Structure 1
Amino acid sequence: MKIIVPMAGRGSRLRPHSLTVPKPLIPVAGQPIVHRLVKDIAKVLKQPITEVAFVLGDPAWFGDDVVDSLTDLATSLGAKASIYRQDQPLGTGHAIMCAKDSLSGPAVIAYADTLIRADFNLDPEADSVIWVKQVDQPEAYGVVKLNDKKEIIELVEKPQQFVSDLAVIGIYYFKEVSQLKDQLQKVLDNNIINGGEYQINDGIKGMMADGKVFKTGEVSEWMDCGNKTITLDTNQRMLGFLQADGEEQLVSDSVKNENSSIIEPCYIGENVVLKNATVGPYVSIGNNCVIENSTVKNSLIQNQTSIKNANLDEAMIGNHVKYDGKFTKISIGDYSVLE
């Protein structure tokens, strides 16, 4: 089984946090988004992963450190890492075709701004499975239309009239992904463009026209990381799941606790110093941070950051930040928000 991860976008909705770190590598509950996504998919599939192919953007943005991180991720699953580049933002279908050399055999395609919780078996009769989640407002999403056999017969984008309440979350399984490649090549050759881009949906519609059977795989949880507010909500939910699972150590043994309280669930990384602080619930703190004379809850703090004299709630703070709540003369970079 292969996993194909298109992740060439800049993540502009998550600025300023994505100004220096590509959005899929921003940690949520202690691990980069894309790391959690790939590991969770591998867990759901319950079969060996032979290759993980990543489609990255400009090497100036997705540099050697990113490639090294993704290679380590694939290696941790016993898989080969393949790196491809999408030089122009020409859509989901184009991004997938940038990895055409890896488009053979069974594969999952997953966009790297989504996290899931799921437990199911792939339908052996299906040529493809599209992961979906039941939603309250289907008119805001792309949804699937099913026939009497519970097979997907149509993809409908933001339907004005009710089609179904099963929203497409951006994760797909193909029993033979070369069939999608063939259809996407037709999309490119015939310049079939929707919304100004080449879309995966047009390749899927070509497979449906050829009689391929599409089924749904429903996830129990679908968590987005599109903007700051949604990412903080995802961090909270993921910490709750990880605490219930009990499979990961969430608070490092190297944390130095000086007269401080930790209200679980929290993720606290390596060599963090807590001095006269109350941390939690639902806080993630990266490596080598100092939290002093502060109260922090419902927040996400990256690496190498110092927080003093602060009362933080629903805060998202990046790497190498120094914040002292006593001072009013502050230098803040582009796209930052203080509320």
Structure 2
Amino acid sequence: MSKPFKVLVIGGAGFIGQAVCNQLARAGAQITVPTRRLAHAKHLLTLPTCRVVQANIHDRAALGRLVAGQDAVVNLLGVLHSRRGKPYGQEFRTNHVEFPKALTTSMIQHRVKRLVHISALGVGVQNPAPSMYLRSKTDGEAIVKDSGLAWTILRPSVVFGPDDRFLNLFAGLTKLFPVIPLAGANTRFQPVSVSDVAAAVVSSLTDKNRDTVHNTYDLAGPDVLTLKELVAMCGKAVGVSPWIVGLPVPAAKAQGFLMELAPGAPLMSRDNVDSMRIDNVRTAGQLFPLAHYDSVRVSAPPYLAARFGPSELDQYRNRRQSTD
């Protein structure tokens, strides 16, 4: 970047947001990250060009103050679970539909034209989409495309990285349970690394020829694996071989319903099961032009083993037992 470039990163305190902010900082951008609680973004305070602001992004006046004076906005806001509703529940409506509308309206008012919007792989594969999540993401994309802004839409598959809540979750479960009942066991995924997602965001903003403007891209790694294969990979990485039992759809929906009743964010929901009715892989969409995409088979096992593998004490005990 030839001059300081001001970027508002919505969702910058999250898993993907942290990677985006790190790469934007290395590119010399001046970053603003809003958060409801400053403690949630304390890990960003060490970035020299990052400013963390306590604000409610769903308040229109607060959002306007954040947008004003920016050169670009990155919208990473997204949720995986919501109450039931038609065509989607309120949490999906608030975050995936109403917020993009408020954001694009504010950007127009403050003459901020550049927007990178994170959507999801699977949008547009079926009409109507099989899940509330995908239907809300579809409507959010439509709002962005109709805004008149200089937008780029990125559709990542499931995102992996050292702090992900996907592969780490399954690695932890395989350490605890010898049998894993699995909804969507045969659904195919094409995982993309968090560093590649961040690279696509930064590349979109620094594209001198603006080739990415008004384009929608898939973000997907080189490996296509079923969910069962991904869970088996996680188990192997941490030294276990669980019995993975694929659940038929009725049993999977029942499992999702029971998990929805648990306190806190559910591990699985009925809507997640609905999303897995279609494969989470590239179809006809164009892949974002990165020079290289990380392989989940190569990149994920080392960090899973480091977190969930045998401790040094366990390894010592195993060596002693083998010599006794």
TM over 0.5: no
Name the structure where strand makes up a greater proportion of residues.
1
TM-score, scaled relative to structure 1: 0.32
Structure with bigger RCO (C-alpha 8 Å, 6+ apart): 2
Q: TM-score, normalised by structure 2?
A: 0.33
Which has the larger helix fraction?
Answer: 2
